[in-house]
Structure 1
C-alpha cells in the first residue's frame, strides 16, 4: 500500500549548483548516499522544519553508465521522479503492474539511504512519468544528517 510521498527527484550533472539553489530556497541537506545498483549519487534536502514535508532529492551520475545518463542526454536536467513510501515494495510492484504501470526494476534494489529498498516504474501515457517505490526497513528516514 502507498503510505505517502517520500521525495521528489531532480536529475542533474551539477549537484553543487542545484544544492546552492535549494539552499537559497531555505532547504538544507539532511543526508545522502550512493545507490550503487543505479550508479547514482543522491542528496536529500528538506525545509527548515525537518519534522515535516517532502524531501527533494538531487540525483547525479556517480559513474559512467549510470541509470540516469540517457535521461540527462535525451531530456537534460530537471524533474526526474516522484517517490512514494510503500509498506511492501514487492507487493506494490505486482499491484501496479496489474494496473498497467511498466516496471523498470523486476526486483527491488538497495537505495541510497540505510535500510532503503527501491523499485522504479513508468506511469503510461497520458501522464508519462517515472515513479519510485520506497520501502524503509528498521533504519527509517532521518530528520537530520
Structure 2
C-alpha cells in the first residue's frame, strides 16, 4: 500500500516560506542541503504527511528551472514505498516513463526516484524509501 510521504513545494525564499507554514501551526522538523540536486529542503509534518519546501541552492538546480518556468507552487507529490528497486522494476515492466531508472540518494538518508509527469497525468511523482521509517513519524 502506498502512503503519502510529502508534498513538495518550490519556493524562492526558504526562510519566508518556513515562517508562512509555521503560521499554520506546523513545526520545522528537518532542514538540509541536498548537494546532488543543488536544493535546500525543509520538512514540516502534518497529520498524514509532510510539506517539503524546496529552494534552489544555485541556478543549476532543477528547482531553479521549475521556478523560472512556472513560479512558486506545488512541485511534486511523494509516496513512501518499501523496496524502491522492486517498485521501479514493476513500473518499467508496465512501460511507465521514469526520470530515474535506479534509486538515488535523497534527503534524510532516503533513496528516491521520480516518475515522469507524462506517465502520471502531468504530476511529477517521487517515490521515497526511508532507511528508518519510524524516525520520520514522530
Instruction: Please state which band the TM-score falls in when normalised by the shorter chain.
Output: 0.7 to 0.9
Q: Which structure shows the bigger proportion of residues in helix conformation?
A: 2
Compute the TM-score of the two structures, normalised by the length of structure 2.
0.88
Q: Specify which of 130, 133, 137 is matched with residue 136 of structure 1.
A: 130
Compute the TM-score of the two structures, normalised by the length of structure 1.
0.84
Show CA shifts across 1:58-117 (max 9, x none).
Answer: 011112301212111110110010000111112222222344432112221111103x11
Equivalences, count: 138
Q: Which structure shows the bigger proportion of residues in strand conformation?
A: 1
Structure 2: which 5+ runs fail to align?
Answer: none
Show CA shifts across 1:105-132 (max 9, x none).
Answer: 2221111103x11111124277201000
Instruction: Give the whole-Å Cα distance in 1 for the aligned partners of 2:132 and 2:3.
Output: 18
Structure 1: which 5+ runs fail to align?
Answer: none
Considering Cα pairs closer than 8 Å and 6+ residues apart, tell me whether 1 or 2 has the greater RCO: 1
1:95 aligns with 2:95: no
CA change 1:65–1:28 in 2 (3 A) is same
1:26 aligns with 2:25: yes
Instruction: Give the whole-Å Cα distance in 1 for the aligned partners of 2:30 and 2:137.
Output: 9
Q: RMSD of the TM alignment (CA)?
A: 2.0
